[in-house]
Amino acid sequence: MDAIERTALRAARAAGAVHLARFGKTTFKGKTSFLDLLTEADKEAEEAVVKVINRAFPDHAILSEEGGGIERDSQHRWIIDPLDGTTNFAHTYPHCCVSIAYERRGFVELGVVFDALRDELMVARRGRGATLNRRPIRVSAAATLDTALLATGFPYDRSSRRRFYLTFWEAMMARVHGVRRTGSAALDLAWVACGRMDGFWEFGLKPWDIAAGALLVREAGGKVTNMDGSRLSLTAGRIVATNGRLHKHLLNIIAENMAEAERRQSQGQ
């Protein structure tokens, strides 16, 4: 284990300690809308993560969801979501995590997703595989959609674009064994890596939502791309992740329904 990984694990544990201490006791610090919450735990966890990273690597840049990161001209960047699943957390629904990725020269080299409430630590190193609590993990072997369990989520603009997003939900629901909406993209990706989910798609995600989880999926033998099948961009906001066997099927369903989704949205159906 090198200094980067040791730092990431310390930072994840520090955020997890905040999650455990604040769970069921949190108060709101603010919100940009009734859908986009901010709690004391978000800010405290962010401060804990940034402190650990900055102490170990004071020349590294840090991108964080809550705006407490550090902008620097550096080849090294940490991408963190101190509390993914804030709405779940605020309602004491036990499904949330901290997500930490380390990026060097534009390549994500390390991804850590820590679910403190379940004490599940998922780690991936580029080219070295992925683990859950130090045990290797692999994606599922599901080969057909009718045996697949998928996950998705809805962006914060879902009130105004619900018809667009529901088009894809309906299309998937009619073809697969089940669809889940868990409220944490980072955990959805981690669970694809663990084989608990067979695939995942979502619009509107940010780099801190997907950077660590996407690496977990790849290193567990799965596939992650943009929705058009191109190489994943952390800023594109249109991600598909699968066990690999189902990837073309999900991409095809999305492509086949894109025009209908736009039509429904424009016509208000």
What are the start-end ranges of the H helices in 200-246?
Answer: 207-219
Q: Specify the pLDDT at position 261.
A: 87
Q: What is the CATH number of the domain that holds 213?
A: 3.40.190.80
Q: Residue 130 pLDDT > 90, yes or no?
A: yes
The last residue of a domain, from among 118, 134, 158: 118
Within this chain, do residues 80 and 11 fall inside the same structural domain, yes or no? yes
- Does residue 95 belong to any structural domain of this protein? yes
Q: Residue 33 pLDDT > 50, yes or no?
A: no
Confidence at 70, pLDDT banded by 50, 70, 90: confident
Q: Residue 132 pLDDT > 60, yes or no?
A: yes
Q: Residue 36 pLDDT > 60, yes or no?
A: no
- Return mean pLDDT, the chain: 92
> CA 41: distance to chain centroid?
18
**Distance of alpha carbon 96 from alpha carbon 101, whole angstroms:** 16
Neighbours of 196 (CB within 10 A): 16
More confident residue, 100 or 264: 100
Query: What are the pLDDT digits (tens) for 168-194?
Result: 999 999 999 999 999 999 999 999 999
Q: Residue 143 pLDDT > 60, yes or no?
A: yes
Residue 179: which residues within 8 A CB-CB, separation 6 or more? 149, 150, 151, 152, 169, 172, 173
**Lowest mean pLDDT segment, chosen from 23-32, 104-113, 242-251:** 23-32
Q: What is the CATH number of the domain that holds 95?
A: 3.30.540.10
Q: Residue 28 pLDDT > 70, yes or no?
A: no
Q: Specify the pLDDT at position 114.
A: 98
- Does residue 136 belong to any structural domain of this protein? no
Q: Determine the structural domain holding residue 59 and report its residue range.
A: 3-118
Within this chain, do residues 113 and 151 fall inside the same structural domain, yes or no? no
**Distance of alpha carbon 61 from alpha carbon 63, whole angstroms:** 7
Q: Which tokens go with 77?
A: 């960047």
Q: Residue 35 pLDDT > 50, yes or no?
A: no
Nearest of 231, 224, 268 to residue 250 by alpha carbon: 224
The last residue of a domain, from among 83, 118, 153: 118
Q: Residue 30 pLDDT > 60, yes or no?
A: no
Decide: 221 and 139 in contact? Cβ < 8 Å: yes
Q: Specify the pLDDT at position 184.
A: 97
The last residue of a domain, from among 100, 118, 136: 118
- Does residue 228 belong to any structural domain of this protein? yes
Within this chain, do residues 69 and 155 fall inside the same structural domain, yes or no? no
End-to-end CA distance of the chain: 54
Virtual torsion, Cα 35, 36, 42, 46, nearest 10 deg: 150
- Does residue 137 belong to any structural domain of this protein? no
Q: Residue 12 pLDDT > 50, yes or no?
A: yes
**Distance of alpha carbon 141 from alpha carbon 89, whole angstroms:** 32
Decide: 39 and 22 in contact? Cβ < 8 Å: yes
